């Protein structure tokens, strides 16, 4: 309620640590009512799946570090990189279709692959959660093996429907918006 409170100060510190996420602070009863937010709550609005997560700030042990961790764990982007921190947000997503680009982030082709993958993600915003899986991370080895892929078969797309665990895999020479779009549309049909 008070923009000069210790909680508001911690909020500003958390905002300073995560420059790529837009932050706002409101004490307006009309704004809080419009979004159904209780006072002293950190609310994260996720545009990619039109969902939200709330953190009750009335607890005295909530500081900038805990707020930043809450945001990192629950934020979803147009393309979310899968790792132990973001896994919670991915698993809790209201989007039940997940498309994974499993690739080597160290590849010289990675920036162009990501540009095309993001462009394809725009086409399926709100329908499919687009995820990047770096095949170089030891923590992602289990994900790669879940789709019965070997490093020699990468890059690859893997689509997964969480309720029934249906899946499909497409190995690629190169990522293109058209190939991603066709692969997703075939699976959706």
Total residue count of the chain as it appears in this document: 189
For the chain, how far is it from start to end, CA to CA, in angstroms?
49
Q: Is residue 110 located within the same domain as residue 158? A: yes
Q: What is the dihedral of CA 84, 106, 121, 100, to 10 degrees?
A: -50
pTM: 0.79
Q: Is residue 107 located within the same domain as residue 130? A: yes
Does residue 52 fall inside a structural domain? Answer: yes
Which 3 state secondary structure label does DSSP give 31?
helix
What DSSP character marks residue 148? T
Q: Is residue 61 located within the same domain as residue 12? A: yes
Domain total for the chain?
A: 2
Give the pLDDT of the chain (189 residues) as one tens digit per residue.
Answer: 778 888 888 999 999 999 888 999 988 899 989 999 887 889 999 878 888 899 988 877 889 999 998 998 888 888 999 988 888 888 888 899 999 999 999 999 999 999 999 999 999 988 999 999 999 999 999 999 999 999 999 999 999 999 999 999 999 988 999 999 999 999 999
- Tell me if 120 sits within 8 A of 177, measured CB to CB: yes
CATH number at residue 153: 3.40.30.10
Q: Is residue 41 located within the same domain as residue 118? A: no
Q: List CB contacts of 173: < 8 A, sequence separation 6 or more.
A: none
- Tell me if 43 sits within 8 A of 52, measured CB to CB: yes
Q: Is residue 102 located within the same domain as residue 21? A: no
Q: Is residue 20 located within the same domain as residue 84? A: no
- Tell me if 171 sits within 8 A of 164, measured CB to CB: no
160: burial class by Cβ within 10 Å (0-12, 13-18, 19+)? buried
pLDDT at 106: 95
Does residue 1 fall inside a structural domain? Answer: no
pLDDT at 48: 80
Q: Is residue 66 located within the same domain as residue 85? A: no
Q: Is residue 109 located within the same domain as residue 178? A: yes
Beta bridge partner(s), residue 159: 99, 168
The tokens of 61 are what? 């042990």
Domain end, chosen from 49, 74, 99, is at: 74
Domain that holds residue 132: 80-188
Instruction: Name the nearest CA neighbour of 91 among 148, 44, 131.
Output: 131
């Amino acid at each position: 309620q008070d923009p000069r409170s210790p909680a508001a100060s911690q909020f500003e510190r958390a905002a300073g640590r995560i420059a790529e996420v837009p932050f706002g602070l409101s004490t307006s009863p009309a704004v809080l009512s419009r979004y159904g937010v209780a006072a002293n709550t950190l609310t994260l609005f996720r545009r990619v799946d039109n969902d939200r997560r709330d953190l009750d700030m009335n607890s005295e042990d909530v500081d900038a570090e805990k707020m930043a961790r809450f945001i990192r764990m629950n934020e979803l982007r147009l393309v979310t990189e899968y790792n132990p921190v973001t896994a919670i947000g991915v698993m809790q997503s209201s989007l039940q279709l997940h498309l994974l680009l499993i690739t080597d982030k160290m590849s010289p082709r990675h920036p162009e692959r990501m540009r095309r993958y993001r462009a394809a993600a725009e086409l399926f915003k709100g329908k499919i959660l687009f995820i990047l899986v770096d095949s170089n991370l030891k923590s992602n080895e289990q994900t790669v093996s879940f789709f019965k892929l070997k490093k020699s078969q990468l890059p690859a797309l893997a689509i997964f429907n969480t309720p029934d665990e249906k899946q499909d895999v497409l190995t690629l020479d190169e990522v293109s918006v058209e190939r991603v779009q066709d692969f997703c549309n075939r699976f959706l049909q």
